Structure 1
């Protein structure tokens, strides 16, 4: 894609108030897709909302990007309308399609080895919220998630990359029983630690986990150097990213 389309994309995301500044957005996307090649790849964006990551993948040369946005529990109202607004302002040639399906629904109709990259951006806990809450104390919940992850493994191509972001259940403010001043709306009991997800994904066949702790975008790379560690994350937002491979 041309440089102009990329510039238009960043300007559009800021105009839609998805990010306050282009520099913040560029930092976040570079950080999220660090060491991940998007060109000529088939990408599945799970719970993709208005399609930010799907459109970015297409702009970076992805062969196709499927954005799943069912607007079920855990999603925000108006995501599909928001996607359509963005779609109308970007080139029709961008290979992005939105499907109003849950991951589980989509997996039932998807052939094996279909995707190089699967993104679960703040959506892994919403795949089955009740099972997520009881993941560590209920065998049925554990196996419900394991079945989903095995199916994700099935639809990924050899050496494919899974990217997961979320908030860890462990947080200083939550452990004190008070509202987190940085992210006051998070329901911490509906989340799990990254090591919990990684262990479960390993059981489904994934390997080579690499974990990073997310830092405020406005701080850029100096903030990443200072805060990409468990302690600083625990004391603030507890956001994490990890990647694994098939």
Structure 2
């Protein structure tokens, strides 16, 4: 049954144009969730859009997944409806929930919940864009993010895993005044380096940072071996992933 649902997940994701093709999607998911066991875990997917990663966590055995996507706060429109349609087509019994809330609002209102896995995929820089832009220049901006993740830390179970994936601040093509072919819509000044985030999170108490650099999915494992480093990423898509633990 689980195998069938997993197969349906990939078929539906491609049919609904949530990803380009199944091999690329599988490669990407394996990269993001490398070494992660979802069975009987609670998961918080921050800025999860229409729920692609949320549904994957459920398919892989998570006992509860909450997807946050604050449509009213500048995100892509129609995400809630797309989420409902995907859930109806895949499995309505999945223990998943889609809420139109920011991370700040959500952690401020929950009381007894705790999460084993917290995922921020292309969302950490947008939790408070103004604060992120001036993160290194203004103490108040730094403290804004510190308060956010202190609250997140308090809502995670001991040994819980934080997964963050996003674009860094530095990109070669952007530096020479050209549009980045790999990420043409990125506003680079609104982003920060992974090392910057790791330093902040260490102050809060997160530990065991592991930083990796993304490579184009179509290049597969050979591309990961040859280009999975900070220099090659700087020349191409400047996208990273890091994990830390509570």
Of residues 41-50 and 218-227 in structure 1, the stretch that sits farther from structure 2 once superposed is 218-227
Q: How far off is 1:2 after superposition?
A: 1.6
Partner of 2:19: 19
Q: Is the CA contact 1:122–1:166 (under 8 Å) kept in the aligned structure 2?
A: yes
Of residues 19-28 and 128-137 in structure 1, the stretch that sits farther from structure 2 once superposed is 19-28
* Residues 1:104 and 2:111 are matched in the alignment: no
Q: Per-residue displacement from partner, 1:9-43 (whole Å, max 9, x unpaired)?
A: 00000001111211111111111100111111000
Partner Cα separation in structure 2 for residue 15 and residue 234 of structure 1: 32
Of residues 202-211 and 109-118 in structure 1, the stretch that sits farther from structure 2 once superposed is 109-118
Q: How far off is 1:113 after superposition?
A: 6.2
Partner Cα separation in structure 1 for residue 113 and residue 138 of structure 2: 31
Q: Is the CA contact 1:42–1:115 (under 8 Å) kept in the aligned structure 2?
A: yes
Counterparts of 1:176-215 in structure 2, within 5 Å, are 176-215=176-215
Partner Cα separation in structure 2 for residue 219 and residue 111 of structure 1: 44
Q: Is the CA contact 1:39–1:63 (under 8 Å) kept in the aligned structure 2?
A: yes
Partner of 2:2: 2
Counterparts of 1:53-132 in structure 2, within 5 Å, are 53-111=53-111, 114-132=114-132
Q: Is the CA contact 2:38–2:62 (under 8 Å) kept in the aligned structure 1?
A: yes
Task: Indicate the RMSD between aligned Cα atoms, in angstroms.
Answer: 1.1
Partner Cα separation in structure 2 for residue 180 and residue 135 of structure 1: 23
Give the paired residue count: 246
Partner Cα separation in structure 2 for residue 169 and residue 211 of structure 1: 15
Q: Per-residue displacement from partner, 1:175-196 (whole Å, max 9, x unpaired)?
A: 1122112211110001000000
Q: Is the CA contact 2:46–2:68 (under 8 Å) kept in the aligned structure 1?
A: yes
Gaps of 5+ in 2: none
Partner Cα separation in structure 2 for residue 140 and residue 170 of structure 1: 23
* Residues 1:46 and 2:70 are matched in the alignment: no
Secondary structure of the residue aligned to 2:5 is helix
Q: How far off is 1:236 after superposition?
A: 0.3
Q: How far off is 1:76 after superposition?
A: 1.4
Partner of 1:231: 231
Gaps of 5+ in 1: none
Partner Cα separation in structure 2 for residue 54 and residue 85 of structure 1: 14
Displaced runs of 4 or more, over 4 A: none
TM-score, with structure 2 as normaliser: 0.97
Partner of 1:157: 157
Partner Cα separation in structure 2 for residue 206 and residue 133 of structure 1: 23
Q: Is the CA contact 1:164–1:243 (under 8 Å) kept in the aligned structure 2?
A: yes
Partner of 1:134: 134
Secondary structure of the residue aligned to 1:153 is helix
TM-score, with structure 1 as normaliser: 0.97
Partner Cα separation in structure 1 for residue 11 and residue 219 of structure 2: 20
Secondary structure of the residue aligned to 1:231 is helix
